[in-house]
Amino acid sequence: MTESTSAALLVGEGYPFGLTTAPFADTPDDAFFFPSEQHLRALEFMGHSLWTRARIGVVIAEHGCGKSYLMRRFVRQLDERIVAAAVQRDQIGPREFLLEILRQFGMPLEDEDKTDRRRLLERFLNHQATIGRMCVLVVENPQSMHPSVLEELRCLAALEVEGQPILKVLLLGQPSLALVLASPRMSELFGSNVASFSLAPFTEDQTAAYVAHRLRAAGAADPDTLFPHTLMRQVHACTRGVAGRINQLCERTLACALDAGDRTIGARALDEAIEQLGWQDRRLPAAMLGDAAALEQQSAPSSAKVVISMQGMADREVALQATRILLGRGEEADVRIDSVFVSRYHALIVRDGGADLLLDLGSTNGVLVNSRRLARRRLQHRDLIQIGPARVTYINEQTHTPQADTGETLCLARPGMPPAAAGEDDPGTLVAFGHRDAPQR
């Protein structure tokens, strides 16, 4: 990859492949935010933590999973009743830490200012409390800060007015933060005043949806043609579903394809990008990716279609010509279902070795197939899919003879709770997955 190609991709000027900008660059643009179930739950946790007894909320995620974007989005969504400060500096001492907080709260202090920063901050917090405002401090990557800074955080979180806390603290850190907080010294400092949430990387299906979303946001008319779904298993394997790594690999793959003069992305460009990044040890062997005949069959147009019914009336038919069909509430969905009970990215129908595979993308209210809540299903003729208020009937005469799907995946609710039926607004239900045993013969 030449330096000029790399620069063109990063800057996004005259971007090739029919795109209007660089699809995998780090950008605060909301159009590129991919609202996976994990990220929406993390935002929900952050908002909920403001109104719980816990003084400190903690979000744990690997580097590159989108903590910075979560922080920016969370702060932007706060209303006028809440005053927020966000600190993103890693190597910082207690005095500089207090100075940064004051600056983020809007006080233009200089480094050499001799003001008692702790007292000034307490006065500010007390004043905000008296006029009915809540103050929130969001700190990114505190695991790399000096223990004295964490002790300062604990002291700030303990401040009260008439028995009510005047500062809520949110910590967004890497997995090592959990170890830091679990240490005897930190446990003694923070006690039971901490609520935590773990942000998991993308699944393979979410990785595919994420790549397609970023390409659409950058102007791609048909993401599947540009960056085929058949490459997503390798992309996920090499990146482990971490958004930052996905961006890095896909950006490099686009550059390799551009250097080679390719008009779309192929396995050759992806392999070259993997080698340039030194990720060969993560690459899946060809045997796990399927042979050429299977991939060709997977890319072939399907004769299947889906019939969407709303309120008992047939609404429309959609032919499954593309290798990937997105169902959801978002405007970018191929099959759009406008309902508050449908997630923006609810489910995918993917061409898989000559069959159509239905995948739940971690939606809040789930997907019912023939009255069973499933996360994965190889579709059969006349399968009835329930997504929110929509009844989607899968029509494919080629699968008229039912076959056992040994990879079918049940979607199980949290122990002690029934699965949320389609149409139920139950964002508190946590989803776990387990493969159904193959039928005994």
208, part of any domain: yes
3-state helix, strand, coil in the chain (%, to 5): 35, 20, 40
- What CATH number corresponds to the domain at position 110? 3.40.50.300
- Can you give the pLDDT at residue 135? 92
Same domain, 148 and 226: no
Same domain, 315 and 272: no
Same domain, 211 and 193: no
Cβ–Cβ contacts within 10 Å for residue 86, how many?
A: 19
Same domain, 111 and 153: yes
14, part of any domain: no
Same domain, 250 and 183: no
Same domain, 234 and 363: no
291, part of any domain: no
Q: CA-CA distance, 216 to 28, in Å (whole number)?
A: 16
3, part of any domain: no
Of 152, 172, 199, which closes a domain? 199
420, part of any domain: no
pTM over 0.75: no
Specify the residue for token string 């970023």. 214
Number of separate domains in the chain? 3
How many CA within 13 A on the CB side of residue 436? 18
Angle between helices 67-77 and 37-49 (to 10 degrees): 50
Domain that holds residue 322: 304-396
Same domain, 194 and 214: no
Of 179, 199, 219, which closes a domain? 199
421, part of any domain: no
- Can you give the pLDDT at residue 268? 92
- What CATH number corresponds to the domain at position 387? 2.60.200.20
Same domain, 120 and 243: no
Q: CA-CA distance, 352 to 350, in Å (whole number)?
A: 6
Binned average pLDDT, 10 residues per bin, the chain of 441 residues: 48 72 84 84 88 86 88 86 87 85 85 75 92 91 84 84 87 87 72 82 89 90 87 93 95 94 91 94 73 46 83 86 85 89 89 80 88 89 94 83 53 37 34 31 33
Q: CA-CA distance, 121 to 98, in Å (whole number)?
A: 8
- Can you give the pLDDT at residue 390? 94
Same domain, 133 and 220: no
- Can you give the pLDDT at residue 339? 93
- Can you give the pLDDT at residue 180? 79
Backbone phi, psi, residue 183, to 5°: -65, 155
Q: CA-CA distance, 295 to 310, in Å (whole number)?
A: 35
Same domain, 190 and 217: no
- Can you give the pLDDT at residue 256? 95
Same domain, 195 and 72: yes
- Can you give the pLDDT at residue 386? 95
133, part of any domain: yes
Same domain, 234 and 337: no
Of 138, 164, 199, which closes a domain? 199
61, part of any domain: yes
